[in-house]
Homo-oligomer: A and B are copies of this chain.
Amino acid sequence: MEQQTAYSLKQSIIFSHKFAQLSKALWKSVEKDWQTWIKPFNLNINEHHILWITYHLDGASISDIAKFGVMHVSTAFNFSKKLEERGLLTFSKREHDKRNTYVDLTEQGRELFLETLEAYKPSTYSVYGGALPIKDLYGKFPEFSELLSIVRHVYGPDFIDMFETALTRLEDGFIEEDGKLKAVDSETKSTV
């Protein structure tokens, strides 16, 4: 037992350093490509992430956005205000939860968000390109179950629930038409 714990400090700093270096490298790559993707729409990452979360939750509180968008509450509020000024969001209170401020997409906000998805090109994402060899090897993209487990421990189970809600909505709520992603209108099952 002595041997095992004796190295646990070194093991843990090696793990933490490895994780810090990997997560920094991967996030910086995603950040660069995400910015390039949404630049034509005059959005920054936080603004696009707010539209994304609000779309998937059918309206969200500022604290939901801060939590699921991994932003400070003031960042979530300030960028939501900017989106409101552009007519993309509306602010409101909810009867059941007067303490919190809620935001909803306007029709214009919803259209802009769907346009960003239509404009998405996989080849512009370096991490996507980096994952293709794994996909070719195993026939599907990596699941990252270890990362999901760590995120669950750090951010809590409801972070993962929202995360999976968003992926399910993407899976069920969209189809591919002429090489573009189109939202399926749930009532009429026609694309909008």
Residues of A bordering B, CB below 8 Å: 6-31, 34, 52, 70, 117, 120, 122, 125-131, 133-134, 141-142, 144, 146-155, 159, 163, 166-167, 170-171, 174-176, 179-181
- The contact sample of 10 A-B pairs, CB cut-off 8 A, is A12-B125, A13-B122, A16-B128, A17-B166, A24-B30, A25-B70, A26-B27, A129-B153, A130-B150, A134-B150
A155 to B154: give the CA distance in the assembly, Å. 27
A126 to B151: give the CA distance in the assembly, Å. 9
**In terms of DSSP, what is the predominant structure of the interface of chain A?**
helix
Which residues of B have CB within 8 Å of A167? 14, 17-18
Cross-chain contact A150 with B127 (CB below 8 angstroms)? yes
Cross-chain contact B25 with A30 (CB below 8 angstroms)? no
Cross-chain contact A16 with B174 (CB below 8 angstroms)? no
A150 to B23: give the CA distance in the assembly, Å. 11
